[in-house]
Amino acid sequence: MNRINKLFQEKKNIISIYYTAGYPNLGDTVAIAEELERSGADLLEIGFPYSDPVADGPVIQASSKAALDAGMTLELLFEQLKDLRKTVSIPVLLMGYVNPLLQYGVANFCKSCAEVGVDGCIVPDLPMAEYEELYAADFKAYDLTNIFLVTPQTAPERIQKIDGLSNGFIYLLSSSATTGQNLSVSEGTEAYFSRIADLKLKNPTMIGFGISSKETFDKACQYANGAIIGTAFVKSLKADDVSGSVKEFMKTFKP
Amino acid sequence: MNYFVNEKGYFGDFGGAYIPEMLYPNVEELRTRYLEIIADEGFQKEFHQLLKDYVGRPSPLYLAKRLSEKYGTNIFLKREDLNHTGAHKINNTIGQILMAERLGKKRIIAETGAGQHGVATATVCALRGLECVVYMGEIDIQRQAPNVARMKMLGATVVPATSGSKTLKDATNEAMRDWINNPIDTHYIIGSVVGPHPYPDMVATFQSIISEETKKQLLEQTGSDQPDYVLACVGGGSNAMGMFYHFINDENVKLIAIEAAGKGVDSGHSAATTALGKEGVLHGSRSILMQTEDGQVIEPYSVSAGLDYPGVGPQHAHLFKTHRGQYVSVTDDEALQAGLLLTQLEGIIPAIESAHALAYLEKMEFTGKENVVICLSGRGDKDMDTYMKYFGL
């Protein structure tokens, strides 16, 4: 069984952390992963940066730009992750936009992921139909999970279809928004989360976008198997004390 | 060969809707409704009425006698520069504002580079009383002060795009982010034949009025509705697609698209996308774009703010790849000289974008009997600063 399915079978209230590869310093990628695992993170999403990240708010955009300016590329990222599995045992996903992936070659990308022990990826602007028709076979060949997003506006039939194509978890967006805004669980959001629960999906769910505090994390865990923290974590990273700032941040969630 | 969009939203290998799930409902709503709305008799009536009485269409097809003499052939100018707001952009914004109304949207967003599309959008929003927010790169805001003032006077809010390179592509990113955050009440008026399906097809349909009129006018003036050549400049490619549209299936009509080479195709300061680009995905569609080996988008350069876009519309990518269209480029210098030439031979100051199409005449060979149509996509008022600096006026 792959690491992701195992995690969801064994744990509840899963805490997943997103951060941008090569930020705040180009060489920090693996060190952050190690420190996050030590500090209690259950799942990692490592962003490979793109010049035009339309689904992201200002904080993650800025981290992407800094990483690109420092020289981050997909090729370098895989080089950095070469020995990942010697020190990191929790599941790892790569998250990024479709164009860098196309230039690297999707089959090639899947092969590199499998070689370094990456468990899957999240590509927000890769449409479901194109994934199914052109790339699903490559993902399958290397036993990689592809994670799809669902928003409050996603129609039930479409959610069912996404559930059918998924084999890890489904990423529930707390609202239709770019990253980095605060989760406010209004009546509407609650109705949306219960609507999802009623669908009795075969895949577990994680809530992301707007999770910035212990309070919002706990709230999200009432409705899903866990939650994803991105912007708040990226914002907290200090270039001159990466390990210390990771520890400090995680203390709030895993005291 | 099918040069138009298929049922999956592709033009050959290009197009599609590469958008995050947050945009899916917005784009899907438009995709399922645009054809039926455009086909509706009431829509057509209102669209054509506004094009006639408000925009001032049909725009003339003018046989430029002195320019024709100079090149030794028959050159016709399709005068989009005479439209209200000074360019072809208004054809699309009229169509899209009527679309937005029928979709029940109350708020309009747009991106703009030089400000022409922003002005055309702010204009139709004022006309119909809708809220208007225009995203514009911070650097472009400084470069295009008069157009910023026009948009403000028309009641639009101009929001600086401060991310990335702070120009057109970043303004487009910001507009998309706005749409993600406002999925219910907002319509995004994209200004060119780019973006996720159905935008490239929808914008081309609205701009196709250019070639529809040209065919009738050519028939009246020359006895045939088929010219030998049709020329237009290409940034994202909306005036070119409008100019090519009804000639695309007339395979004996040669379609020539002129891109901006900037300081030279290989100078590192260029916007010649088909020469420098590779296939990839930008702003929601698969097309050809200028990018690094790692798939990061390269910021293009051209003296003309309407042509410095790092991609081309997917239909252009298809015409290029199938060789139905010939994609070429001219430099800043060649375009500016062509702008001066037209001004002095015909008394028409062209936009620097349109001057790129004119400049390609220098590189063509004629026997004297050809009929050549050039899309004069906009007027040069907005470019006086650039002309003044270049020619020391």
Please tell me the predicted confidence (pLDDT) of residue B114: 83
Token pair for B42: 């009431």
**Strand B186-188 relative to strand B254-262, pairing:** unpaired
Q: What is the largest CA-CA distance in chain A?
A: 48
Q: How many CA atoms lie within 13 A of B72 on its CB side?
A: 7
> CA–CA separation, B363 vs B38, rounded Å?
39
- The reply to whether residue A178 touches residue B297, judged by beta carbons under 8 angstroms, is no
Residue whose token pair is 């195992």:
A6
Asked about A56 being catalytic, the answer comes back as yes
Q: How far is A153 from chain B (nearest CA, A)?
A: 7
Q: How many CB pairs under 8 A join A and B?
A: 107
Please tell me the predicted confidence (pLDDT) of residue A183: 66
> CA–CA separation, B272 vs B290, rounded Å?
9
As a whole number, mean pLDDT of residues A200-216 equals 92
ipTM more than 0.90? yes
How high is the mean pLDDT of chain B?
A: 96
Residue of B nearest to A58 (CA): B163
Please tell me the predicted confidence (pLDDT) of residue A210: 85
Note every long-range contact of A78-81, with CB atoms under 8 Å and residues 24 or more positions apart, other chains counting: A78/A112, A78/A115, A78/A116, A80/A21, A80/A27, A80/A29, A80/A30, A81/A29, A81/A30, A81/A46, A81/A116, A81/A117, A81/A118
- The reply to whether residue A127 touches residue B16, judged by beta carbons under 8 angstroms, is yes
Residue of B nearest to A155 (CA): B25
More confident residue, A179 or B358: B358
| Cβ neighbours for A178, distance < 8 A, ≥ 6 positions apart | A54, A55, A56, A57, B22, B177, B180, B181
- The reply to whether residue A173 touches residue B183, judged by beta carbons under 8 angstroms, is no
Which chain A residues have a beta carbon less than 8 Å from that of B164?
Answer: 51-52, 61, 65
Please tell me the predicted confidence (pLDDT) of residue A11: 96
Share of chain A above pLDDT 90, in %: 85
Q: How far is B196 from chain A (nearest CA, A)?
A: 11
A52 → closest Cβ in B8, B16, B169? B169
Beta-carbon count within 10 A of B21 CB: 23
E-state strands within A89-212: 92-95, 120-122, 145-147, 149-150, 170-173, 205-208
> CA–CA separation, A147 vs A167, rounded Å?
8
Residue B53: Cβ-neighbour burial (10 angstroms; 0-12, 13-18, 19+): exposed
A176 touches chain B (CB under 8 A): yes
Asked about A42 being catalytic, the answer comes back as no
How high is the mean pLDDT of chain A?
A: 94
- The reply to whether residue B22 touches residue A65, judged by beta carbons under 8 angstroms, is no
Q: Which helix (H) or strand (E) holds B78?
A: strand B74-79
- Confidence band for A231, pLDDT divided at 50, 70 and 90: very high
> CA–CA separation, B223 vs B225, rounded Å?
7
- The reply to whether residue B180 touches residue A150, judged by beta carbons under 8 angstroms, is no
Chain-centre distance of CA B111, in angstroms? 13
> CA–CA separation, B208 vs B230, rounded Å?
14
Which residue among B89, B105, B166, B215 is the active-site one? B89
Token pair for B264: 């030279």
pLDDT at A185 exceeding the cut of 70: no
- The string of pLDDT tens digits covering residues B58-107 is 999 999 999 999 999 999 999 999 999 999 999 999 999 999 999 999 99
Beta-bridged to residue A19, according to DSSP, are: A46
| DSSP one-letter string for A5-24 | HHHHHH-SSEEEEEEETT-S
Which chain B residues have a beta carbon less than 8 Å from that of A155?
Answer: 25
Task: Give B246's DSSP letter.
Answer: G
**Strand B285-289 relative to strand B278-282, pairing:** antiparallel
- Considering the four listed CATH numbers 3.20.20.70, 3.30.450.20, 3.40.50.2300, 3.40.50.460, the one that applies to the domain covering A3-251 is 3.20.20.70
- The reply to whether residue B281 touches residue A102, judged by beta carbons under 8 angstroms, is yes
Please tell me the predicted confidence (pLDDT) of residue B59: 98
- The string of pLDDT tens digits covering residues A81-140 is 999 999 999 999 999 999 999 999 999 999 999 999 999 999 999 999 999 999 999 999
As a whole number, mean pLDDT of residues B330-350 equals 98
pLDDT at B294 exceeding the cut of 90: yes
- The string of pLDDT tens digits covering residues B148-185 is 999 999 999 999 999 877 888 899 999 999 999 998 89
Is this structure's pTM higher than 0.95? yes
A177 touches chain B (CB under 8 A): yes
Which chain B residues have a beta carbon less than 8 Å from that of A52?
Answer: 164, 169-170, 173, 282-283, 297
A154 touches chain B (CB under 8 A): yes
- Amino acid in position A138: D
Residue A178: Cβ-neighbour burial (10 angstroms; 0-12, 13-18, 19+): buried
Token pair for A174: 């707390």
- The reply to whether residue B294 touches residue A73, judged by beta carbons under 8 angstroms, is yes
Asked about B68 being catalytic, the answer comes back as no
